[in-house]
Amino acid sequence: MARPTLYTSELAAAICDIVATGATMERACARKGIGYRTVKEWKRKGRDGEEPFADFLEMLEIAEAEALSQLETSAHSKGLDDGYLAVKILERRAPETWQPRQIVRLEKDAEKNMTDEELQAIAATHGFVKKGED
């Protein structure tokens, strides 16, 4: 016989409220006295479309977006000095947008007579893109 779920709509809302303030999921779980693995299971069930977990997953995604929005506002409004912590958190939580990008200048090796296409192919295998194409 399966163990009864700890899920309640009140607990789910409380976790989402904590996440919306910028806390990590682990911190939100600890504050509410529930295991992180339990909430990860709720999220899995939500992705599978199982109710009420699908509703929880949607609320959680909104809470996470709200937290990122607050961090972005802080990073933009306070500038680099005071917004440093916000930027560092954003780099980790939304790397697709906030991760620092490196600009690398690639030059042809005259002895190997590489074509521009060959050089770009090598750069692409290392995740670099030509400036203006990103």
Q: How many CB atoms lie within 10 A of CB 68?
A: 17
Token pair, residue 62, equals 């909104």
Residues 125 and 59 reside in one and the same domain: no
Does residue 94 contact residue 68 with C-beta atoms inside 8 Å?
A: yes
Q: Are residues 90 and 118 in the same domain?
A: no
- Is there a single domain that holds both residue 26 and residue 78? yes
With respect to residue 3, please indicate whether it lies within any of the assigned structural domains: no
pLDDT given at position 81:
56
Domain enclosing residue 134, as ranges: 102-134
Looking at the structure, tell me whether residues 71 and 116 fall in a common domain: no
Here the CATH number for the domain that contains residue 94 is 1.10.10
* Any domain includes 59: yes
pLDDT, one tens digit for every residue, the chain (134 residues): 677 888 899 999 999 999 999 888 899 999 999 999 999 999 999 999 989 999 999 999 999 999 988 877 877 776 655 667 777 777 877 777 777 776 666 665 555 677 778 777 877 777 776 655 54
Distances (CA, A) of 113 to 105, 108, 116, 117: 17, 7, 10, 12
What is the reported pTM?
A: 0.59
d(CA 46, CA 26): 18
111 three-state secondary structure: coil
**Res 58: pLDDT:** 96
